[in-house]
Amino acid sequence: MSKSIKLAILGLGTVGTGVVHLINDNLDELKRRSGRDITITEVGTRRQRDDIDPAITQNSDLMAVAASNNVDIVIELIGGTTFAKDVILQAINNGKHVVTANKALLAEHGNEIFAAAEANNVHVAYEAAVAGGIPIIKVMREALAANKIDWLAGIINGTGNFIMTEMRDKGRPFADVLSEAQELGYAEADPTFDVEGIDAAHKLALLASIAFGIPLQFDKVYCEGITDITLQDVSYAEELGYRIKHVGFAVRRDGDGDKAGIELRVHPTLIPQDALLANVNGVKNAVLVNSHPLGQTLYYGDGAGAGATASAVMADVMDLVRVLGSDVAAKHVPHLSFQPEQLSDTPILRAEQMTSGYYLRVHAFDNPGVLADITRILSDAGINIDAILQKPAHKAGQVPVIILTLPVVESQMNLAIEKIENLETITDKVVRIRLDELT
């Protein structure tokens, strides 16, 4: 038996404690599968814990743990993007491999961290950073390595998916469901990262980099939350055969000039009721990948929680244990699945260059010719209508008109909406939600 692999865990919150328990519970299985003894030698924690094996050194100086000579792999589970960055770079610069679940840190500073890892000939593994227990990083970096990925679409925030599911299934308003999500521990006291799409955008930046071999570019992800979604729109979407989900898209657009590039966008989306993603409910996550020659494949499961995240963390640890046990240097897939010198400079499209179908809800006075005016404006803008739903007049003679369009470049839709809102018969701002058939 080769020498023991020594782990340090930084942060003993829910996930860190889950990793400790997983290792203790499955120690024999881990040894059998890796051919190595795996031991936790140090933990970095701000307060001493009585439930930790006395043989494990507890240290409140996390930087010292990251540099310890008694550690081979550092598992970072403290979160945040400031001190966590410093401690990971400390570990890398001291020749330690790193496992992290910190999607915000990697999305915002991953280029620097991965460059440091390359320079020090160590690895940074991050399966737990995206979709929890779903092995989507491994699938895209390894199982789909021979495929050209055309697009991916993911429900990658469980809180947002729980809210949208409850609104649809039980007719509950957004604020009511959010309050319950906080009580259940699905949402933080400050839910901004979840409901405004920032958490999903962090994850999408990582997925897109792997899919297309581009540098991490979180700042170029178009991000729109779910706070403005109403029960009215949820109901109308259902009536038209769609469901509203909060989805992250990474799409490769081929073409000439400014039409070519990559779309990175997170926003509420109408998708067909019979689509696979439309039936991902509650706090579950799923990622749909469309690649050539394989076609569409769906990866589904728990996107958060101590068990799911600890499982993903230990999957990375096991990979690194095998690397450390190999006689071949750096026997591992590159961090972003492409060799660093082969990363593409493909541009990221701006929001107005992106293409999708649209759901439009227009409120107008119930006057003759109103619908004709609206459809004329859309036609003049080169926008094709797929379906129209006109509801009975209500409140002061106003009538809701719901229109579904075929895919169109956003700049065209912006101009059309501006002209519609300038009609004297239109009583309010046009509500727009993107629509995708996922084909």
Summarised one tens digit per residue, pLDDT across range 71-116 is 999 999 999 999 999 999 999 999 999 999 999 999 999 999 999 9
Q: Please pick, among 85, 203, 245, 284, the residue that the annotation labels catalytic.
A: 203
Where do we find the tokens 């890398």? 92
β-pairing, 73-76 vs 5-10, is: parallel
β-pairing, 148-155 vs 97-100, is: unpaired
- Whether the Cβ atoms of residue 116 and residue 338 lie closer than 8 Å to each other: no
Edge-to-edge strands, sheet with 124-125? 57-59, 38-44, 5-10, 73-76, 97-100, 124-125
Phi, psi at 22, each rounded to 5°: -60, -45
CA-closest candidate to residue 401, choices 426, 424, 383, 380: 426
Would residue 203 show up in a list of annotated catalytic residues for this protein? yes
Same fold for the domain at 5-133+306-342 and the one at 354-435?
no
* Angle in degrees, CA 434, 210, 214, rounded to 5: 85
Pairwise CA distance, residues 383 & 39, whole Å? 62
Around 415, how many Cα atoms within 13 Å sit in the side-chain half-sphere? 13
Helices (H), 262-384: 306-324, 370-380
Q: Domain extents for the chain?
A: 5-133+306-342, 137-302, 354-435
* Angle in degrees, CA 420, 401, 396, rounded to 5: 90
Pairwise CA distance, residues 53 & 182, whole Å? 33
- Whether the Cβ atoms of residue 181 and residue 189 lie closer than 8 Å to each other: no
Is the dihedral angle over the CA atoms 20, 26, 27, 31 positive or is it negative?
A: negative
CATH annotation of 354-435: 3.30.70.260
Pairwise CA distance, residues 209 & 274, whole Å? 29
- Each residue's pLDDT, cut to its tens digit, for the chain (439 residues) gives 467 899 999 999 889 988 998 998 888 888 888 888 899 999 999 888 888 888 889 999 999 999 999 999 999 999 999 999 999 999 999 999 999 999 999 999 999 999 999 999 999 999 999 998 899 999 999 999 999 999 999 999 999 999 999 999 999 999 999 999 999 888 888 999 999 999 999 999 999 999 999 999 999 999 999 999 999 999 999 999 999 999 999 999 987 767 789 999 999 999 999 999 999 999 999 999 999 999 999 999 998 888 889 999 999 999 999 888 765 554 556 676 666 667 788 999 999 999 999 999 999 998 888 999 999 999 999 999 999 998 887 767 789 999 999 999 999 999 999 999 999 999 999 999 999 999 8
Helices (H), 155-269: 158-170, 174-183, 192-195, 198-212, 231-239
What are the b/e assignments for 54-77, b being 16+ CB within 10 Å? eebbbbeebbebbbbeebbbbbbb
- Whether the Cβ atoms of residue 246 and residue 157 lie closer than 8 Å to each other: yes
Is the dihedral angle over the CA atoms 328, 334, 338, 344 positive or is it negative?
A: negative
Amino acid at 103: K
Radius of gyration of the chain (CA): 24
Tell me the CATH number of domain 137-302, given options 3.40.50.1370, 3.40.50.740, 3.20.20.70, 3.30.360.10: 3.30.360.10
Amino acid at 152: L
CB neighbours (10 Å) of residue 1?
7
pTM for the model stands at: 0.94
**Superfamily grouping for domain 5-133+306-342:** NAD(P)-binding Rossmann-like Domain (3.40.50.720)
